[in-house]
């Protein structure tokens, strides 16, 4: 007797996320203490590497978070795109528990993290909820970021750079 076959949907990484994405400054929430931003995304099975390539005047900062869509991971010194004119600091050493999942038939990457920070009164936490949404056609990416401590969402819009574009922030 044949058993019922139940179709199981397996989340499969979407390679359209791969590549370098340049922030459209005019159409995005204002950066603060940064003047330019690229995201470089690399999907490798369940792992997604999110590299932040940031510019502030003559300073360039490149920091990467590697999340996993199959399991929670602990990331040391999790990088977030902060508003640098606020007295909110990353602790010298910290570990952040990060969850990631594919949604919407792999057109959205959801990342959740509760990030420790240092403020004038001591230690605090910001719970961050992010969705990286791939646009139709795969040439645009929208990052929506919600903070537990901020009632205005942050919305960053990116365009994909061609693979031979060597410009950097």
Partner 1 sequence: MIRALRNSIICLLAAGCFITASSAAPTKDAWVMRFDGDWEVASALPEKAMLVSLQGLANRDEAQLYIIHPADFQWEITEPLYDFYKRKHGIKFKEIETAKAALSRFKSAAKGYVVWDTSIGATLNVAFTIAGLEDAIVVSEALIPLVKKQGLKQIDDLRGRYTGQTDAQIYGDAIDRYWDRCSRDRIMLMGGHRGRVMMPAMADWGIRERMFFHDLSADPEEADELVLNRRLLEDLDPGSIVFGWHPYGKDTEEQSTMLLSTYGLKMEGLHNLPNLSYNCQFEFTEGFKFTNNHHVDLDEKLVAEQKVYMSFVQSDSIGIGVWTKPGRGKLPFAWQVTMNWTDFSPAALEYFHESATPNDYFIGGLSGPGYMYPNNIPEDRFPILMGEAKKLMGVLDEHVMEIMDNSAADGNVGNAELFKETVDAYYKAFPDVLGFINGYGPARTRDLRDTRPMISYDYYIDPKRPREEVTADLNELIALNRKLPYFLLVHVRESNDVNSLVTVVENLEGPVEVVALDQFLKLAASKKTYKTRFRQADDPVHFKGY
Q: Which position among 5, 10, 92, 164 is part of the footprint of partner 1 (CB under 8 A)? A: 92
Whether 66 contacts 75, CB under 8 Å: yes
Q: Which position among 62, 86, 95, 103 is part of the footprint of partner 1 (CB under 8 A)? A: 86
Q: Which position among 15, 33, 45, 91 is part of the footprint of partner 1 (CB under 8 A)? A: 33
Q: Give me the least distance between CB of 94 and partner 1, in Å please.
A: 14
Which residues 6+ apart lie within 8 Å of 18 measured at CB? 41, 42, 43
**Is 151 a residue that touches partner 1 (CB under 8 A)?**
yes
**Exposure string for 102-136, b = 16+ CB within 10 A, e = fewer:** beeebbbbbbbbebebeeeeeeeebebebbbbbee
Q: Which position among 28, 56, 66, 106 is part of the footprint of partner 1 (CB under 8 A)? A: 56
Question: What is the binding site for partner 1 (CB under 8 A)?
Answer: 29-30, 32-33, 56-57, 59, 83-89, 92, 117-122, 124, 126, 147-152
């Amino acid at each position: 007797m044949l058993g019922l076959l139940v179709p199981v949907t397996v989340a499969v990484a979407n390679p359209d996320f791969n590549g370098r994405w340049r922030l459209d400054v005019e159409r995005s929430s204002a950066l603060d203490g940064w003047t330019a931003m690229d995201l470089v995304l690399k999907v490798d099975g369940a792992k997604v590497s999110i590299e932040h390539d940031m510019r502030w005047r003559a300073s360039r900062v490149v920091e990467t978070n590697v999340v996993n869509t199959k399991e929670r991971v602990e990331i040391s010194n999790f990088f977030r795109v902060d508003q640098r004119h606020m007295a909110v600091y990353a602790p010298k050493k910290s570990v952040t528990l990060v969850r990631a999942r594919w949604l919407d038939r792999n057109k959205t990457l959801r990342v959740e993290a509760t990030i420790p920070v240092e403020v004038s009164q001591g230690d605090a936490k910001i719970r961050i909820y992010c969705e990286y949404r791939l646009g139709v056609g795969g040439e645009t990416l929208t990052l929506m970021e919600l903070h537990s401590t901020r009632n205005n969402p942050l919305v960053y819009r990116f365009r994909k750079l061609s693979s031979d574009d060597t410009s950097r922030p």
